[in-house]
Amino acid sequence: MSALKWDEVGEHLFETGIDHGVLYPMSDSGTYPLGVAWNGLTGVTESPEGAEANDKYADNIKYLSIRSAETFKATVKAFTYPDEWAQCNGEAVVNGVTVGQQSRKSFGLVYRTIVGNDIKGNDYAYKLHLVYNGTASPSERDYQTVNDSPDAIEFSWEIDTTPVTLTTKIDGKTLKPTSILTIDSSNFTTEAAKAKLNTLEAALFGTDADPEDPQSVGTEPYLPDPDTVISMLSVG
């Protein structure tokens, strides 16, 4: 055993930034077969709800506390959005005309955030955030005249999710349904672990064909289900 130490060199960690946004519209079979890059993504605010205490009393004392189910919500902000977002935003495009107030398609979303420390700065690590089974609420749009201090409109959407069932077990117990997976690259430091993470990123972001190999073909980006992601990252 050893004494606790604080503020060791290399352990001044922080999180910042957001990039590599990808939208995955859900197919009719409930999968996410094709991702599209989300340019102009400026922020995602994760807002979990639930897990509230429901206290029970007996014998004139607090007998136990039962926690309610937890849900995952988020706010997505961006200067622009891919064309595929239209269906997720309740829009249909017919002959160049956008028709609002239509059915809203469910989707998956991936984005990356930076993990920094006092030695490597922003190059220390990153986190991949995988969101499943989301739906978007209508958003306000504030159009204003151009003046001597022009600014870009920042769109914002409230995202709600429905948890996805898991079959993965820990200590013999099946994990509860979830809408969010977070993968910290700092946990994948060995060559075997890095290879697993690279395989996942190839699935999420797609790959280009090798220009030096005529037989090589690229792969389309897709979002694997949570059980598959966990299996892909296991190093045994």
Would you state the pLDDT for residue 111? 98
Rounded-to-integer distance, Cα 24 and Cα 84, Å? 9
Q: What integer best gives the mean pLDDT of the chain? A: 94
Would you state the pLDDT for residue 42? 97
Residue 154 has pLDDT above 60, yes or no: yes
Rounded-to-integer distance, Cα 61 and Cα 116, Å? 46
Question: 65-97 pLDDT, tens per residue?
Answer: 999 989 999 999 999 999 999 999 999 989 989
Q: Percent of the chain scored above 70 by pLDDT?
A: 99
Domain boundary assignment for the chain = 14-232
Question: 174-228 pLDDT, tens per residue?
Answer: 999 999 999 999 999 999 999 999 999 999 999 998 888 888 888 999 999 999 9
Would you state the pLDDT for residue 235? 66
Would you state the pLDDT for residue 144? 85
Would you state the pLDDT for residue 236? 56
Would you state the pLDDT for residue 11? 92
Residue 160 has pLDDT above 90, yes or no: yes
What residues does 108 pair with on adjacent strands?
24
Rounded-to-integer distance, Cα 151 and Cα 146, Å? 8
* Residue scoring higher pLDDT (44 or 149): 44
Would you state the pLDDT for residue 37? 98
Would you state the pLDDT for residue 138? 85
Alpha-carbon distances of 185 from 127, 200, 222, rounded to whole Å: 6, 12, 20
Split at pLDDT 50, 70, 90, the class of 148 is confident
What residues does 32 pair with on adjacent strands?
223
Split at pLDDT 50, 70, 90, the class of 141 is confident
Over its C-alpha atoms, the chain yields an Rg (Å, rounded) of 22
